[in-house]
Structure 1
Amino acid sequence: MFALPSGNARASFGVGWREVAFEQKNLITGNGSVPEVTNSDRYVYSEISLPVLTKLSFNGALRYDDYSTFGGTTNPKIGAIWNVTPSLDIRANWGKSFKAPTLTQQYGASSVAVYKASAVGIAGAPSDATVLAASGANPDLAPERADVTTAGIAFHPQFLPDATVELGWFDIDYVRPSPCRSRETSTRQLDTELCVLAVPNQSTR
């Protein structure tokens, strides 16, 4: 892009659009248990790398998404790499993360189960109290947002060209919905809603 004393600055830009559709139906009867739903996302992003000094470089990125279901979100990221010696690098990054729930997580299968309140650790509940636990998809599932900070040291000794030893640290500060909304994770296909309510059993008269 332009020249710096320690090298050339590099940048990249991009735009895109995508649409996802979800429909759940019985393949035998052809009946749909979930009508077709769609979600679209228009996005634009930019990345830049600046080698400001011989052994120090900075990088940054910015992405904007416009979801048809969740609106717009802007997420930046900045970082630095310091080449302390030919064998030792120190890096640090900070950024914001945004993950929209998939249509499967919102409109897939769900179920409800009944448990004793004592079985799920509700202290002080009557002995005959029960709990309704809903699991599976949740149409009200909110996006997952987080502030992410990472740092690390990489050691790659010159006498072992193919060897690298890394020590890393990270801090992920999630911004979650209220406790009675689905608990979000990035590693599970279906997020789980556990809004429990202890209700004493009542005898029928």
Structure 2
Amino acid sequence: MTYLPNHFKETDPATLYAMVRDYPLASWVVPHQGELLVNHIPFLLDESRGEHGTLVGHVARANPVWQALQAAPVSGVAVFTGPQAYISPNWYPSKHAHGKEVPTYNYVAVHAHGSAQVVQDAEHVLDIVSRLTQRHEAGQALPWAVADAPKDYIDKMLAAIVGIEIPVQRWVGKWKASQNKQAPEQRGVVAGLSAHGGEPESRMAQLMSQNLASKVPV
């Protein structure tokens, strides 16, 4: 269960999917025998498969998580984290008026809940690896392809991994971007973040600016 006030709730599938595409590295959490198995996996979202899409990735064969899944299929959650930034009370006009403000932290997070399936068929695993490679190499001047490596080497690498597919059962999106503040306070936060100059702050400022411009809650 996630603490999720209505003003921070995001339910639009297109918005959730875009965030997963932009920030594909997930903290994947699976309960097993009274413990939590936590892995950090870059997932590809296949929107065409299933009612809520399917996450596709792979883990090392030496990783015990896939054997745990085969022993007892169980629902887990993949947590994707987007823009995030510390928010200083100095950025609120209201702080300078009456001082009644405190620090906070803005962030974007998407949770994908579902029961993972293990893929061991070599051709299927090759397809997963190839699609992930194409996705992440797309921005390179000279994209690398799986076929660039010798076949026997690729076969050896494929034998050392197993595919993971998670048909998503439900999505939870939390956009904590100062929506609980009035527009002057939000504009003050944008100005403060922009003046900071760091990449995380710039990304949060951009997200908040878009929200203010559209006047649509996120």
TM-score normalised over the length of structure 2: 0.23
| Higher-RCO chain (CA-CA 8 Å, sequence separation at least 6) | 2
Determine which structure has the larger strand proportion and give its number: 1
Determine which structure has the larger helix proportion and give its number: 2
TM-score normalised over the length of structure 1: 0.24
